[in-house]
Structure 1
């Protein structure tokens, strides 16, 4: 009788909620390949629901606070990485290590493990195509294989001698191809008719500190021309009080409803969105919504980013479409007046230029189809092939 090959031991590190979501999907695919697969490392609730042995919870990798608190947190993260490295190179040596996002934590660890003969995978290609191209050398040294969310990334990595597989973007399977605006408005208690603007000023305190005020000042200007407009603002709990304060200071509290999260409902319900650059812009594109992308950061950070920026676009919808399909107003251009004018242009198009809206929806629908893949199966297949090599 042929002896059955035991399932592999797979170590993973996932930081933040998004990493936990991606790793959970990957574990679904791995368990379909190997029902008794053993997985361990650093992870969150979604991973643990799938039998993951969390030596440390992913929350331990989150960085918040300032000065001494921040230094203490970073020192704690370094101690965790040292202890994890020793464990993976010792008695708990895995067959493969998969770092899920968190490149600042994972790439160095992957380099050490790969040098010791452990196969390594990185899930989510760092944005070398947008900025920080120097990271490509670190990726080449760290990874046997990269699992990519965007279809152009494997070819880019191949030019640098890095093996990669496009596995699709999970959001493309979560968000329906044809969002139901009426149902979303009903769920949020909004009227079926009338204009609705969704304002998404970011989910991190640093983002809100720089962009939320001009966003709400733009709302005040928009209301002068469109006094009946309803404005909805999805907010993470930690930022709700600060956003409420800014809404009052900008004099738009009567028009603005701050939601407890519910960003997908907000994007499904709105006619257009004023949105901070980041993953939320991809969500807005998958909901086929006209948007104005705005962003502002510390001047020194802006100068650094501009020097390392590799392409003319910053927003993910424009990067993926390779065109300025939606306006980007960044740094000094992100004035309340400019933001309000750009949003007003989309709102006018919603009423009087259906061809412009239809053309945008067509671009975003094509993008949605491009990103829609069986992510768990494709990711697990790539890991299986790496282990068999």
Structure 2
């Protein structure tokens, strides 16, 4: 039984981007330990690798202080039950994949009871909420970092960490095939295409979708030849269809089941919600306009803890506003439309941005599965 427990890893990934990262992590772990089992909370990418999800991942996909408060009782109950089950059934290691608000407290509790823990994706303590350093130090044996500057920052705080590269940098080709992506979606090879990515959570759709669709309507008025595509998770497709119908854009926006990577490969520019998807867009070398809107109270609280002037990952990694950011009141339909159309009218700026994104891609490209497995093996042997 003890040996069986050691061959089982527990993971929690709380949203679509975490599911993608965790799926790639599982590839590396299964190569190193072919007979390992993996349990916890995850989505379809993890489950395709044989992961056993004890709760639907969507239960954790909530963002913003006010939104989390509304669901706090249910989320806290899931965490208590998960902790009890893991302590009862055992696991050789717990890996929290992003979702620090859920995972760090769970990791600390499991580690206190003797379970080894790791966290995949360093919480963005360099961007906001630096107080998380103390919580991270208590919670984990090791942090798997996806950005090259993070291990040195954590070492100063006495936290063991390894730079493993960003898994997406190895999945996304350096030169995406736009023609093949358009053919897969039935799009004209020459038509200008805008990808709308208003987020992968219901709360994001609630605050962003109407603005994105109104912006799309304005863009089409200015340029009738534009085509719009929107990748939607199957669990959110009904919500998106209702919002599109209410906006009057239902027949003008092509919905795609998932396949956000195909949409990014196919498009000329994307109007996109702040989050991991913005880095994916950068790796696809696509110009973008980053937008975000959330409950005003949540934004007021978050803004006080913000350490940098940027919210989008491409800008944070560039150290400047490489792409426009329109946040809260600034994210009006007209402003979103004008910023998006500006990219279509500026091929020289697009080319310069693509060169910058190629350099970023190369910096993030590492043998992530092997480096993750190396770090995890040291934790297990430590």
| TM-score normalised over the length of structure 1 | 0.86
Number of the residue aligned with 2:159? 162
How many residue pairs are counted as aligned between the two chains? 374
Q: CA deviation at 1:10?
A: 4.7
Number of the residue aligned with 2:12? 14
Q: CA deviation at 1:158?
A: 1.6
Question: Equivalents in 1 of 2:6, 2:293: separation in Å?
Answer: 46
Q: CA deviation at 1:71?
A: 6.1
Alignment partner of 1:235 out of 232, 235, 245: 232
Q: Is the 8 A contact 2:5 2:92 kept in 1?
A: no
1:171 and 2:177 correspond? no
Q: CA deviation at 1:60?
A: 6.6
Question: Equivalents in 2 of 1:127, 1:242: separation in Å?
Answer: 30
Question: Equivalents in 1 of 2:50, 2:265: separation in Å?
Answer: 34
For residues 188 and 20 of structure 1, do their structure 2 counterparts lie closer, same or farther at Cα, with a shift above 3 Å needed? closer
1:267 and 2:264 correspond? yes
Q: CA deviation at 1:330?
A: 0.5
Number of the residue aligned with 2:81? 80
Q: Is the 8 A contact 1:64 1:70 kept in 2?
A: no
Question: Equivalents in 1 of 2:88, 2:246: separation in Å?
Answer: 52
| TM-score normalised over the length of structure 2 | 0.88
Alignment partner of 1:195 out of 189, 192, 195: 192
1:382 and 2:354 correspond? no
Residue ranges of structure 1 left out of the alignment (5+ in a row): none
Q: CA deviation at 1:85?
A: 5.0
Question: Equivalents in 2 of 1:75, 1:149: separation in Å?
Answer: 28
Number of the residue aligned with 1:30? 29
For residues 75 and 289 of structure 1, do their structure 2 counterparts lie closer, same or farther at Cα, with a shift above 3 Å needed? closer
Number of the residue aligned with 1:361? 354
Report Cα offsets for 1:59-80 as digits up to 9, x if no partner: 2782479999946633541441
Q: CA deviation at 1:130?
A: 2.2
Bigger radius of gyration: 1
Number of the residue aligned with 1:114? 111
Report Cα offsets for 1:125-150 as digits up to 9, x if no partner: 12222222211110011111100122
For residues 361 and 50 of structure 1, do their structure 2 counterparts lie closer, same or farther at Cα, with a shift above 3 Å needed? closer
Question: Equivalents in 1 of 2:5, 2:60: separation in Å?
Answer: 35
1:20-99 to structure 2, matched below 5 A, reads 20-36=19-35, 38-44=36-42, 54=52, 57-59=54-56, 62-63=59-60, 70=71, 73-74=74-75, 76-87=77-88, 92=90, 94-99=91-96
Alignment partner of 1:153 out of 125, 147, 150: 150
What is the SS of the residue equivalent to 1:62?
Answer: helix
Question: Equivalents in 1 of 2:182, 2:70: separation in Å?
Answer: 42
Alignment partner of 1:132 out of 115, 129, 132: 129
Q: Is the 8 A contact 1:81 1:105 kept in 2?
A: no
What is the SS of the residue equivalent to 1:227?
Answer: coil
What is the SS of the residue equivalent to 2:56?
Answer: helix
Report Cα offsets for 1:356-381 as digits up to 9, x if no partner: 12110011111111111111100110
Q: Is the 8 A contact 1:150 1:168 kept in 2?
A: yes
For residues 118 and 74 of structure 1, do their structure 2 counterparts lie closer, same or farther at Cα, with a shift above 3 Å needed? closer
Question: Equivalents in 2 of 1:362, 1:233: separation in Å?
Answer: 26
Residue ranges of structure 2 left out of the alignment (5+ in a row): none
What is the SS of the residue equivalent to 1:151?
Answer: coil
Alignment partner of 2:290 out of 286, 293, 302: 293
Question: Equivalents in 1 of 2:58, 2:186: separation in Å?
Answer: 37
Q: Which moved more, 1:333-342 or 1:248-257?
A: 248-257
Alignment partner of 1:213 out of 210, 214, 220: 210
RMSD: 2.8
Alignment partner of 1:283 out of 276, 280, 301: 280
Report Cα offsets for 1:151-192 as digits up to 9, x if no partner: 222122122111111112221112111111111111111111
